[in-house]
Amino acid sequence: MSAALYHNMLVSARHGGAEQLALQIHKYVTALRPGTGQLLVPSGGATRELIASAGEDFKTYRLDWLRSRGHARRLLANLELAGKLRRSGRGLLHIHSPYVYGAVQPFLALSGLKTILHLHLDYSEAELQWTIKRPPDLLFVCAAFMRERAAKILGARAHQREPNIVTAINAVDTERFTPVDRAEAKRSRGLEPQRPVFLMAANLAPHKGQITAIRAMATLVREGLRPLLWLVGEEREQQGTYTRQLHELVAQSGLQETVQFLGFRTDVPQLLHAADCLLLPSTHEGLPLSILEAQASNVIVLAAPTAGIPEVVADGRTGFLIAADDAQKYAEVAAAVLRDGALAERVRDTARRQVVANFSLGRYCERILSEYDRLLGAESGDAKVLT
């Protein structure tokens, strides 16, 4: 019998957290079992460029056609996908979005592959009802809070069959995201070592809370501090409307020298080296990788108690939880952390130790591969953890 093939289907042309994890899973599998991993990547866009520049072998598929309202295009995209995976035989397909999972149903019904759906965001019950017409063989959820809702949907779809759900809390490469001398990192960017630097690494979208972050900066400026806020990310959904709103707020608040829009970046680890705090006053999330990346880098997290965030941020111990719309409180906590060096050091150290112990990328990928093997009925062997 031929070896199983493990297909990971990246689901956005713009490289984000789900794409990062899918790529890391693929690298782990192929390092242990050469020739058994296959990446499926949307044609065009930053994701394809990054995968190609990394030297990874991949096949492309027409994501735009799968999303098309035209039945003919969706069918053609499914047939093309089937052609590219024709040689697979025994194996599985790990899809990192319910929307793409729903769109490839015609192919899945004929492929003979075991199917895995991975939920990286907090999808509503209505969204899951619409996309999961046929239950996957295995469902990964990125945070424990998502499990109950997913079980309800899958249980109904499977007609009382016990849903096969695994909680795989997100993880981070603790060698790529690691502490350095913060003062020196600031100097290397032409900044004064004592200037407070705040980072938001998130798509520019109203639910992410950039407005709250900007208003918090205005409060800190009024209190005599000279903060710098880096907004990393780009707008995906509203044709620049929200971006213009943010620029207008910055201008109206006189914060042109305080807030910098950095756009899409591939050097987030280096930006974290110079940052004092990560801000994420979001109202809608899964379990953001940016939080784990910050904690691994000894950057203090100030975030809203949204979705899976409280699963990795214990208020006052591994970060601080603040209501998403409370700009004043974000400013107060930020100022307190900047003033109290002992508090800051204690929170940084506790958060870093937690990430290394519980959310390392090696352990995460080992868990995913063991579930692959369980699904296929194979022995996992003595797979070595890659850290």
Percentages (nearest 5) of helix, strand, coil residues in the chain: 45, 15, 40
| Residue 108 CA: distances (Å) to CA of 36, 84, 133 | 19, 13, 12
Tell me the CB-side half-sphere exposure of residue 232, using CA atoms within 13 A: 20
Cβ-contact 6, 37 below 8 angstroms: yes
What does the pLDDT read at residue 254?
98
**H/E stretch holding 117:** strand 114-119
| Total H helices, total E strands in the chain | 16, 13
What does the pLDDT read at residue 161?
60
326: tokens are 């409370």
120: tokens are 């990286």
Q: Which DSSP category does 162 fall into?
A: P
Decide: residue 180, CB within 10 A, 0-12 exposed, 13-18 middle, 19+ buried: middle
Q: How far apart are CA 263 and CA 46, in angstroms?
A: 13
Cβ-contact 223, 255 below 8 angstroms: no
349: tokens are 């150290």
Q: How far apart are CA 85 and CA 111, in angstroms?
A: 8
Amino acid at 189: R
pLDDT (tens place) for every residue of the chain, 387 residues total: 456 689 999 999 888 889 999 999 999 999 999 999 999 999 988 899 989 988 898 999 999 999 888 889 999 999 998 888 876 567 999 999 999 999 998 888 888 899 999 999 998 888 888 888 888 999 999 999 999 888 888 876 655 566 799 999 999 999 999 999 999 999 999 999 999 999 999 999 999 999 999 999 999 999 999 999 999 999 987 678 999 999 999 999 999 999 999 998 989 999 999 999 999 999 999 899 999 999 999 999 999 999 999 999 999 999 999 999 999 999 999 999 999 999 999 999 999 999 999 999 999 999 999 999 999 985 444 444 333
Cβ-contact 92, 116 below 8 angstroms: yes
Rounded to 5 degrees, what are φ and ψ at 229?
Answer: -115, 120
Query: Distance between alpha carbon 307 and the CA centroid of its chain, in Å?
Result: 13
What does the pLDDT read at residue 380?
43
Walk me through the domains of the chain, giving residue ranges and CATH numbers. 5-171+360-376 (3.40.50.2000), 182-358 (3.40.50.2000)
pTM of the model: 0.91
185: tokens are 């990192």
Kindly calculate the radius of gyration of the chain based on its CA atoms and give it in whole angstroms.
22
